[in-house]
Amino acid sequence: MKFGIVIFPGSNCDHDAYHVVKHVLGEEAVFLWHGDRDLRGSDCVILPGGFAYGDYLRCGALAKFSPVMQEVADFSAKGGPVIGICNGFQILLECGLLDGAMLRNASLRYVCKHVYVRVETDRTPFTSIITPGRVLKIPIGHMEGNYYAAADTVRALEDEARIVFRYTSPAGEVDPAWNPNGAMAGVAGICNKARNVVGMMPHPERASEAALGCEDGKIIFTSVVRAIAGSCV
Amino acid sequence: MTKHKVRVIVTLKNGVLDPQGLAIKHVIDSLGKTGFEEVRQGKMFDLVVTAETSQAALAAAQDAAKTVLSNPILETFVCSLVS
């Protein structure tokens, strides 16, 4: 299976994602430049974390217009799995591939720490082998992760089980004390209606090896490998 | 074709929490200045647009404000001709 990892000017988690795909999972990985108009046969696209275009204007606002994003939109429209991590999530929101927007963290602080997220659904390629209700410990590192959407959008996300990850306590309880950024409905990650595009603020690529202290993030990558393998049988 | 200057002001929609505005208000309050009911932060852009008429320049600026300068989920904007 081949993962395409998009590099925007200012991406900084591209090599982390590549490392996990290639060296931890043992799958094929290619870098895709933001100016490319070709996904080079990728089976899954990762929009990595970082500061695309320096976060100028708004996070993800300029990356939206990169040529590669038209290819990503076409790929996702055909059902191709796409995951945006942190800044990648912000880009997917700006593009309209996911619903909602990001505000500055309620604390007005850049938050960089491990958080707990409860997996809310296994009906996405990136959570396909995770039992709903399982709590994962994965780090975040962002200034704009305060998820915002109109009330009817949040209601639709809830009704359609499109909230994929929610900030909780280590025991899986939703509590504002465990919400690190003020996100509405405790949203840490969501998916689109077709369920093949997922955005998440936590960084699973930073928690996929025992040497890094936590391997909870690895199952997100393993899930999509299994999902793709299953769909090809 | 002449050059026209258009000023675009982008602000958060009413009802959208503005943590930066709240922090600024907190500082103003803490300095003992009274009467400040609310502070909302926004962004200002000055665009120089070459167009046949000022109305065409304004329309072009409005299109840019809608598609690039603002996020319609969070923000609203006002464009005005400066010169």
Averaged pLDDT, A189-204: 98
User: What digits encode the pLDDT tens for the residues A77-90?
Assistant: 999 999 999 999 99
Q: What is the CATH number of the domain that holds A128?
A: 3.40.50.880
Please report the sign of the dihedral spanned by the C-alpha atoms of residue A20, residue A22, residue A25, residue A27: positive
Average of per-residue pLDDT across B22-43: 95
Residue B43's contacts (CB-CB under 8 Å, 6 or more residues apart) are B9, B10, B11, B69
Q: Determine the Cα–Cα distance for residues A144 and A88; give it in Å rounded to an integer.
A: 12
Residue A107: which domain range? 2-232
Q: Which residues pair with A117 in a beta bridge?
A: A136, A167
Instruction: Inspect the interface and report whether the beta carbons of B73 and A100 lie closer than 8 Å.
Output: yes
Q: Most A CBs within 10 Å: which of B73, B76, B77, as the mutation test of the A interface?
A: B73
Determine the residue of chain A that is closest to B19 in CA distance: A106
Residues of A in contact with B20 (CB under 8 A): 104, 108
Neighbouring-strand partners of residue A210: none
Contacts 24+ apart (CB under 8 A), A15-21: A16/A48, A16/A49, A16/A203, A16/A205, A16/A206, A17/A46, A17/A48, A17/A85, A17/A205, A19/A205, A20/A204, A20/A205, A20/A208, A20/A209, A20/A217, A20/A218, A20/A221, A21/A46, A21/A221
From residue A13, give the alpha-carbon distance in Å to each of A9, A36, A121, A149, B48. 12, 19, 26, 26, 37
Chain B residues close to A182, C-beta within 8 Å: 17, 19
Nearest to A108 among B23, B71, B73 (CB): B23
Judging contacts by C-beta atoms under 8 Å, the chain B residues touching residue A146 are 17, 19
pLDDT value of position B83: 85
Contact (CB<8Å) B23/A103: no
Above 90 in pLDDT, residue B64?
yes
Residue B45, phi then psi, degrees to nearest 5: -125, 135
A106 to chain B, closest Cα gap in Å: 6
The C-alpha atoms of residue A32 and residue B2 are separated, in whole angstroms, by 41
Nearest Cβ partner for A106 among B19, B71, B73:
B19
Question: Distance between CA A205 and CA A199 in Å, rounded?
Answer: 14
A177 at the B interface (CB within 8 A)? no
| Residues of A with a known catalytic role | 86, 203, 205
Sheet with B75-81, edge to edge strand ranges: B42-51, B2-12, B75-81
Q: A232 falls in which pLDDT band (50, 70, 90)?
A: low
Domains, chain B, ordered by start = 2-81 (3.30.1280.10)
Read off φ and ψ for residue B22, nearest 5 degrees. -65, -40
A44-47 and A2-7 beta bridge pairing:
parallel
ipTM strictly over 0.90? no
Total domains in chain A come to 1
Q: Report the alpha-carbon distance of residue A33 to residue A139 in Å, rounded.
A: 26
Q: Is the pLDDT of residue A233 over 80?
A: no
**What integer pLDDT is reported at residue A231 of this predicted model?**
78
Digit-coded pLDDT (tens) for A39-77 = 999 999 999 999 999 999 999 999 999 999 999 999 999
CA distance B19 to chain A (A): 6
Q: What tokens appear for A162 in the block?
A: 């499109």
